[in-house]
Amino acid sequence: METIVHEFPPYREHETAPEPEAHGHHADIGFWRKYIFSSDHKIIGIQYGFTALCFMLFGFFLMLMMRWQIAHPGAPVPVVGPLLAKLLGQPAAGGIMSPELYNSFGAMHGTIMVFLAIVPLAFAAFGNYVVPLMIGAPDMAFPRVNMASYQAYVLGGVVMLVSFFIPGGAAQAGWTSYSPLATSIPTDGQLFWILGMVLLITSSLLGAVNFIATIIQLRAPGMTWMRLPFFVWAQFVTAFLLLLAFPPLEAAAIMQLMDNAAHTSFFLPTGLAVGGQLAHISGGGSPLLWQHLFWFLGHPEVYVLILPGMGIVCEIIANNTRKPIWGYKSLVYSVLVVGFLSFIVWAHHMYLTGMGTKIATFFQATTMMISIPSVIILTCLFISLWGGSIRFNTPMLFALGFLPMFGIGGLTGLPLGLAPTDIPLHDTYYVIAHFHYVVAPGTIFALFAGIYYWFPKMTGRKMNEFWGRVHFWGSLVFMNLVFMPMFTQGMEGMLRRMADGGANYSAARVPGALNTLPNDIMALHTWILWAAIALGLAQVPFIINLFWSIHHGEKVQNDNPWEATTLEWQAPTPPPHGNFAEPPQIYRGPYEYSVPGHATDFTPQNEPDRPGSPALAPAH
């Protein structure tokens, strides 16, 4: 490794002009180049983060309105009702949410949360800001591509937002956009959705290429693969998932675009009758083809949603237990296995499309298999707590909260993964609860943890601890109050995507039948509604805290306020353009905490070996 050191190019600018940022004032390069059209991975990371958070809030508001409709079908939406009516016209006449509007809000909630909120925040924002710092790189491998990726993302977001206001409104066929429904709905919403998706896919592909190239090429001397922080590994695998799983959806999107715009029949079978009339199409297509292509992306996508979160949690747990992560190697291998397996489980979303025994067996088997590495990952994180000296600061609280929440979500994936038990559960709120436990109290908590954890590096100030705790306990309690009841509802047969919250299937409406939704199940809707509102209020302290702390938070004493070992904390705060003053040299694994015989309870990766210190101990 030493040999590389000499060949490593110098980080300083060639011309002697000092870095403007380094001196805290941006003199020569203007505001636009610095903050809007920047190619600095840190600025881009923050841009991504802020935009994604706004989308997350928006996605949540969509859901609040839907939850109101579920609890009080046909009643005008309070407060925003009139506004809806004015903005969206017919579908929201009288402030009442029509089924059309409910469906498009549902589809857009899913799309926005997955593709415009969580992926950009978990992968793009944290990946951009943290990964190059963690591996000791001056920037991403392709800074301009990086900027293009963000711009494509914003453009995609704009297209999605605009689609709300076109006649007929946004896409209504669910985030899964199954054909023929997606093609038969008489609005252009679906076209906008497809175009938006193509832009978002492009953005993700550019990002993925950039991340992988960066991690392969720009690791600082001594930063061997097995010395990479787990977060970097998680992002590395995530990037591969995006790189290889997105193109098939792009292909599918192109074909659905043709179906919608050029009246082809890729996904439309012969003899299709839409709205009573036989459709004038050539036919011969296959609706299942779309589902296969969609879920071939769809399942890897869900691991894209979780892996970065796991990475963040791992970093924070190591830092706040003040001890090495238990089983670093098994973590790395597990995440690689998950990445690979996630490409061959997709059809577990399609058990009920008339699947034969052989295929069903294959996909049940792979689905059970993929749960094992996830079990291993969680086990390693749990066991890492043992023997630690745990500091309960806000980032740690959220990281710890992640573990059982993901656990619940993951475990409830198992009955869905077995085809027979999927029969009664498919498309019920059990599924909704399952995946929200993994993405909402799971991933979102991990992201909150990351924000609280790296905020000091970005701004040189800490976020307020007290309000952080308020935010945590509020979120934890209300998240569970929102999603736990959904398991019961699902078990009892409450179906998802019900514009009336299942009222038509309730005991109240159909007395005679033996299988109706009991009143107490329907009554839960009201509880969930209020819990969701409370959940939203629980975010207020966070939002205020976030903005307030940028200028008024407690100043950090040094570059490494959490006394962490990983490289990003050894860089200046905030890191200047180009990050490190001189190329860091790495001597050890990422989690050398409480090394016996070492002066402090943390040994940074770039701290030169001193005689007598067991620094070069291999990472665990």
Partner 1 sequence: MTQWFADKVLHLPTLASKNGAAIDELMVYIHVLMLALFVGWILYFGYALYRFSQSRNAKANYHGVRSHASNYLELAVAAIEAVLLIGIAVPIWARAVDKFPAADESTVIQIVAQQYAWNVRYPGHDGIFGRQDMKFVTSENVFGVDPTDAHGKDDIQVLNEVHAIVNKPVIIYLSSKDVIHSFRVLPMRICQDAIPGLRIPVWFTPTKTGKYQINCAQLCGPGHASMSGGFLFVEDEVDFQKWIGSKSGTSASFE
Partner 2 sequence: MEIPYAVYPRPDTGIYNAKVGIWLFLASEVMLFGALFSAYVLLRVGAPTGEWPHGWLNVTLGTVNTLVLALSAITTLLAWVACKTRQFDKFKIFHACTLMLALTFLCIKACEYHDKWIHYEIQLTDGRIADGHLRGSDANSVTIEGRYVTDEKDLYDLRAQKEIKSGEITIPRSQIKSMENYGPWHNTYLALYFTLTGLHALHILGGSIVIGYLWGPGRKLWKTDPEHFTNRIEVSGLFWHFVDLVWIFLFPVLYLT
Binding site for partner 2 (CB under 8 A): 3-4, 7-9, 11-14, 19, 137-139, 141-143, 145, 205, 208-210, 212-213, 216-218, 243-248, 250-252, 254-255, 258, 262-266, 281-282, 284-286, 289, 293, 296, 577-578
Task: Give the binding range for partner 1 (CB under 8 A) out of 6-14, 249-257, 264-272, 335-343.
Answer: 264-272
Q: Which of 90, 224, 270, 282 binds partner 1 (CB under 8 A)?
A: 270
Using left for φ > 0, alpha for ψ between -120 and 50, and beta otherwise, residue 171 falls in beta
Which among Cu ion, partner 2, partner 1, none contacts residue 452 (Cβ within 5 to 8 A by kind)? none
Q: Does 423 bind partner 1 (CB under 8 A)?
A: yes
Closer CB to ligand HEA, residue 349 or residue 457? 349
Q: Does 288 bind partner 1 (CB under 8 A)?
A: yes
Closest to 297 in 3D by CA, of 343, 329, 349, 350: 343
Cβ-closest position to ligand HEA = 407
- The dihedrals phi and psi of 99, each to the nearest 5 degrees, come to -50, -40
For ligand HEA (CB under 6 A), the number of binding residues is: 59
Q: Does 434 bind Cu ion (CB under 5 A)?
A: no
> CA distances (Å), 277 to each of 100, 222, 262, 304, 548, in order?
21, 68, 19, 42, 59
Contacts of 83 (CB under 8 A, 6+ apart): none
Which among Cu ion, ligand HEA, partner 2, none contacts residue 11 (Cβ within 5 to 8 A by kind)? partner 2
The C-alpha atoms of residue 128 and residue 35 are separated, in whole angstroms, by 15
Count of other CB atoms within 10 angstroms of residue 25: 7
Contacts of 195 (CB under 8 A, 6+ apart): 159, 257
Q: Which of 17, 27, 262, 514 binds partner 1 (CB under 8 A)?
A: 514
Q: Interaction with Cu ion in 277-306: which residues (CB under 5 A)? A: 299
Closer CB to ligand HEA, residue 22 or residue 523? 523
The C-alpha atoms of residue 287 and residue 171 are separated, in whole angstroms, by 18
Burial of 552 (0-12, 13-18, 19+ CB in 10 A): exposed
State the minimum distance, in angstroms, from the CB of residue 319 to ligand HEA: 21
Closer CB to Cu ion, residue 343 or residue 382? 343
Q: Does 114 bind ligand HEA (CB under 6 A)?
A: yes
Torsion of CA 221, 223, 225, 229, to 10 degrees: -160
Q: Interaction with ligand HEA in 242-261: which residues (CB under 6 A)? A: none
Closer CB to Cu ion, residue 299 or residue 471? 299
Beta strands in 15-71 (DSSP E): none
**Interface mask toward partner 1 for 328-347; x: CB under 8 A:** --------------------
**What is the full DSSP assignment across 231-279?**
HHHHHHHHHHHHHHHHHHHHHHHHHHHIIIII---TT--TT-EETTEEP
Which among ligand HEA, partner 2, Cu ion, none contacts residue 250 (Cβ within 5 to 8 A by kind)? partner 2
Q: Which of 38, 39, 47, 98 binds partner 1 (CB under 8 A)?
A: 98
The C-alpha atoms of residue 107 and residue 512 are separated, in whole angstroms, by 33
Closer CB to partner 2, residue 138 or residue 417? 138
Q: Does 96 bind partner 1 (CB under 8 A)?
A: no
Q: Does 173 bind partner 1 (CB under 8 A)?
A: yes
State the minimum distance, in angstroms, from the CB of residue 618 to partner 1: 13
Let me know: does 146 contact 128? Beta carbons within 8 Å: yes
Q: Does 417 bind ligand HEA (CB under 6 A)?
A: yes
Q: Does 354 bind partner 1 (CB under 8 A)?
A: yes
Q: Which of 86, 497, 552, 555 binds ligand HEA (CB under 6 A)?
A: 497
Q: Does 60 bind ligand HEA (CB under 6 A)?
A: yes
Q: Does 389 bind partner 1 (CB under 8 A)?
A: yes
DSSP state of 601: S
> For tokens 């990003």, what's the residue?
568
| Angle 127-132-134 from CA coordinates, rounded to 5° | 95
Using left for φ > 0, alpha for ψ between -120 and 50, and beta otherwise, residue 422 falls in alpha
Which among Cu ion, ligand HEA, partner 1, none contacts residue 251 (Cβ within 5 to 8 A by kind)? none
Let me know: does 436 contact 483? Beta carbons within 8 Å: yes
- The dihedrals phi and psi of 461, each to the nearest 5 degrees, come to -135, 155
State the minimum distance, in angstroms, from the CB of residue 545 to partner 1: 24
Let me know: does 382 contact 403? Beta carbons within 8 Å: yes
State the minimum distance, in angstroms, from the CB of residue 8 to partner 1: 31
Q: Which amino acid is at 21?
A: E
Applying CB under 5 A, the residues found at the interface with Cu ion are 299
Applying CB under 6 A, the residues found at the interface with ligand HEA are 53-54, 56-57, 60, 63, 67, 106-107, 109-110, 113-114, 118, 174-176, 302, 305-306, 348-349, 367, 370-371, 374-375, 378, 404, 407-408, 410-411, 413-414, 416-417, 422, 426, 431-432, 434-436, 438-440, 444, 482, 496-498, 532, 535-536, 539, 542-543, 546
